């Protein structure tokens, strides 16, 4: 049995908890939280500890599944945690991945631990599709569309702005762009041509709404390159919208092998719950990291470095016989 | 530059030839054929040699891309070729993969060579989707649909029957089954519930049509488990149909993370030319085999064993920066 620890218990932590409980080859040693452990009732009856106790589990956990956010949690904590534990995380600030990788690669090698970063569906499953599609159809273009759905990273980023009490953000594909791609027109689309971002924000009494709206719309990486709509609403409305965390998206590659022969490759996901599905992906990569670490792998890896067989509880012989 | 040899020049060999000519990091040492090399004019101006000359290229080729058929070519020749060369092939008789793997794993280890088998889109890209989808959404069902399109393996199998001059076979998804899956009904579908197989066959004068039809319909692995329609037509009609080798298909996984939250994952391919796309996939895996062999890997591998980064001409740092 693979011994797993879960760090953080927000939406993603809950999703990971559910996924670990369903894995036939995993047991959870505990959920670690910065909150008062007594205050937390997890979806599955796993033990809950304060983050302060994490050190006591050194040598007793095969892999930690890190469920913090990409804006501040992961950049400020993963490298420290990696000194003592193998880790998997869902770091999704695309622009900062190279820098994040570099740091964890150095720490992992130095301390003999393995870290898998940017795991989930994008980055993650979609990254696999982009790379694989590009390798097998080199003469072409690829297009990633997200939504309609809630982006937790973007919602999180808004909530960190001074004066914001709660917020939720929807990423919405632009229909005309989607149509052009499906028709094989190979359009030239910038990031902002493919999506708009709609935000529902609840603010504190007396907050400077104009400043908050400006701060959102100009936030680098998250909003600056997009058409962004900001709606100020009640806390109740935000809360109601937060009950349904559905998401999805498409990766297309459209290209040619000869002038006359074109091909369209498409991966699409329709997800009722983004954090539950992301948690399920994190858990499969937890299995891979535990196995690779056991074989002596150290440093930092992404979905591009891990042979797919490591993700499955089935043996290689079973995979060849039943899935190949 | 990776030195590549192409073995066999049918439809797939032509597709591989085109793909190798587009790869920025590959050069083709030659196309090897059992026919008279003089009689062959390849799509790209690569040198053409008789198969008898292959031995002279020992030590001068990083990887051979084998373009023979799965019914007899590959089972009878790959193991022998592997003694002297690293290989990639598209072996697609699903039921016989374990046995084929076992033999090549033994030969590859003994002779210090590497063989990647069952590369293409199914087995290949679709196998990746089935495994990956299952690992990240364990509580669910998966469904593979092929077509509408020509299956070269099945056409080939018909052509080997005594009395058949030429033949082409279309695999056609059953619409009602496709609809049930898309609706998330999680239906219980046997292989034959998802597709029908339609064959257009031209026979020699005086051939026993009834016996040929019976031989097709009862052929194990290929037709026995399917509703099969056999049409006897002129050689001209078969030839005309052979001009357009389009194909495609879908891999679905439909499942749940909790009782209330379900998810639908889908990979779909729409291909104008099955052999050109398959050839393009074979070429990407040729790159991977050449690199892995250089690192000392031996034996037999499938798409499940090869980290995806090996398929791309881009560096790992470039992949992380631009595609992750």
Q: Which of B118, B273, B304 is closest, CB to CB, to A308?
A: B304
**What do you get for the CA distance between the two ends of chain B, in Å?**
26
Question: Across chain B, where does the E strand assignment appear?
Answer: 2-7, 26-33, 48-50, 63-66, 87-88, 114-116, 140-146, 149-150, 164-173, 195-203, 227-232, 247-256, 262-271, 299-301
Residue B297, pLDDT > 90, answer yes
Residue B276: which of A258, A307, A319 has the nearest Cβ? A258
Give me the tens of pLDDT residue by residue for chain A, a chain 324 residues long.
999 999 999 999 999 999 999 999 999 999 999 999 999 999 999 999 999 999 999 999 999 999 999 888 999 999 999 999 999 999 999 899 999 999 999 999 999 999 999 999 999 999 999 999 999 999 999 999 999 998 878 999 999 999 999 999 999 999 999 999 988 889 999 878 999 999 999 999 999 999 999 999 999 989 999 999 999 999 999 999 998 889 999 999 999 999 999 999 999 999 999 999 999 999 999 999 999 999 999 999 999 999 999 999 999 999 999 999
Chain A residues close to B316, C-beta within 8 Å: 304-305
Q: Under an 8 A CB cutoff, do B19 and A118 touch?
A: no
Nearest CA in chain A to B251: A267
Contact: A131, B309; criterion CB under 8 Å = yes
- B164 pLDDT tier (thresholds 50, 70, 90): very high
Q: Are A131 and B319 a contacting pair at CB < 8 A?
A: yes
* Closest Cβ opposite residue A281 in set B23, B136, B313: B136
- Which of B90, B128, B257, B305 is the best substitution to test chain A (most A C-beta atoms within 10 A)? B257
In this complex, do B277 and A138 lie within 8 Å of one another by their Cβ atoms? no
Query: Is A280 within 8 Å of B23 when comparing Cβ atoms?
Result: no
Nearest CA in chain A to B264: A270
* pLDDT on residue A192: 86
Task: Report pLDDT digits (tens) over B128-144.
Answer: 999 999 999 999 999 99
For position B183, what pLDDT does the model report? Answer: 86
The long-range contacts involving A294-300, CB below 8 angstroms and separated by at least 24 positions, are A294/A62, A297/A114, A298/A108, A298/A109, A298/A111, A298/A112, A298/A113, A298/A114, A299/A104, A299/A105, A299/A108, A299/A109, A299/A114, A299/A115, A300/A101, A300/A104, A300/A105, A300/A108, A300/A114, A300/A115, A300/A116, A300/A117
Contact list in B for residue A263 (CB cut-off 8 A) is 269-273, 277
Q: Which of B100, B261, B275 should one mutate to test binding to chain A, selecting the residue with the greatest count of A CBs within 10 A?
A: B261
What pLDDT score was predicted for residue A151? Answer: 85
pLDDT at B278: 97
- The verdict on a CB contact (< 8 Å) between B324 and A311 is no
Average pLDDT over residues B232-238: 97
Cβ of A125 within 8 Å of Cβ of B137? The answer is no
**Chain B residue with minimum CA distance to A182:** B270
| Confidence (pLDDT) at B16 | 98
Q: Mean pLDDT in chain B? A: 96
Chain B hits for A281, CB-CB cut-off 8 Å, are: 136
Chain A hits for B299, CB-CB cut-off 8 Å, are none
Whether residue B245 has pLDDT greater than 90: no
Sign of CA dihedral A222, A223, A225, A228: positive
Q: Give B95 to chain A, closest Cα distance, Å.
A: 7
Distance CA A226, CA B8 (A): 51
Q: Do A257 and B270 touch (CB under 8 A)?
A: no
Closest partner residue to B97 (CB to CB) among A302, A304, A320 is A320
Predicted TM-score of the model (pTM): 0.90
Are A101 and B279 inside 8 Å of each other by CB?
Answer: no
Is A143 strand, coil or helix? strand
């Amino acid at each position: 049995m693979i011994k797993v620890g879960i760090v953080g218990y927000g939406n993603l932590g809950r999703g990971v908890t559910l996924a670990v409980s369903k894995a036939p080859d995993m047991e959870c040693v505990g959920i670690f939280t910065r909150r008062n452990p007594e205050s937390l009732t997890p979806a599955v009856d796993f033990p809950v500890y304060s983050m302060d106790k994490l050190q006591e589990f050194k040598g007793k956990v095969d892999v930690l599944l890190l469920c913090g956010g990409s804006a501040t949690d992961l950049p400020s904590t993963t490298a420290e945690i990696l000194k003592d534990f193998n880790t998997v995380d869902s770091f999704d600030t695309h622009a900062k991945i190279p820098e994040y990788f570099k740091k964890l690669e150095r720490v992992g090698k130095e301390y003999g631990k393995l870290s898998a970063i940017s795991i989930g569906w994008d980055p993650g499953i979609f990254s696999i599709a982009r790379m694989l599609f590009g390798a097998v159809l080199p003469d072409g273009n690829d297009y990633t569309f997200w939504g309609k759905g809630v982006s937790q990273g973007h919602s999180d980023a808004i909530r960190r702005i001074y004066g914001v009490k709660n917020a939720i953000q929807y990423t919405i594909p632009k229909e005309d762009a989607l149509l052009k791609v499906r028709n094989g027109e190979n359009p030239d689309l910038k990031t902002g041509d493919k999506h708009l971002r709609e935000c529902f924000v609840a603010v504190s009494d007396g907050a400077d709404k104009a400043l908050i709206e400006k701060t959102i719309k100009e936030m680098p990486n998250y909003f600056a390159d997009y058409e962004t709509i900001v709606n100020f609403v009640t806390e109740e409305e935000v809360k109601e919208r937060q009950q349904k965390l559905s998401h999805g998206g498409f990766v297309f590659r459209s290209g040619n092998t000869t002038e006359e022969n074109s091909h369209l490759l498409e991966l699409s996901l329709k997800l009722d719950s983004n954090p539950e599905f992301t948690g399920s992906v994190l858990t499969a990569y937890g299995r891979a990291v535990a196995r690779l670490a056991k074989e002596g792998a150290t440093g930092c890896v992404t979905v591009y470095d891990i042979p797919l067989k490591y993700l499955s509880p089935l043996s290689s012989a079973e995979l060849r016989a039943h899935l190949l």
